[in-house]
Amino acid sequence: MGRKERRELYKSMGFLSSLGINMVVSTLIGLAMGHYLDQWLGTRPWLTVIFLIFGIIAGFRNIFILTNMELKRQQEKNDSDHDNG
Look at residue 85 in the predicted model and tell me its pLDDT: 65
80 confidence band (pLDDT: 50, 70, 90): confident
Which three-class secondary structure state does DSSP give residue 85? coil
pLDDT > 90 in the chain, percent: 79
Q: What is the pLDDT of residues 25-58, one digit of tens each?
A: 999 999 999 999 999 999 999 999 999 999 999 9
What ranges do the domains of the chain cover? Answer: 18-71
Least confident of 9-18, 30-39, 55-64, 73-82: 73-82
Buried b (16+ CB within 10 A) or exposed e, 4-31: eeeeeeeeeeeeeeebeebbeebbebbb
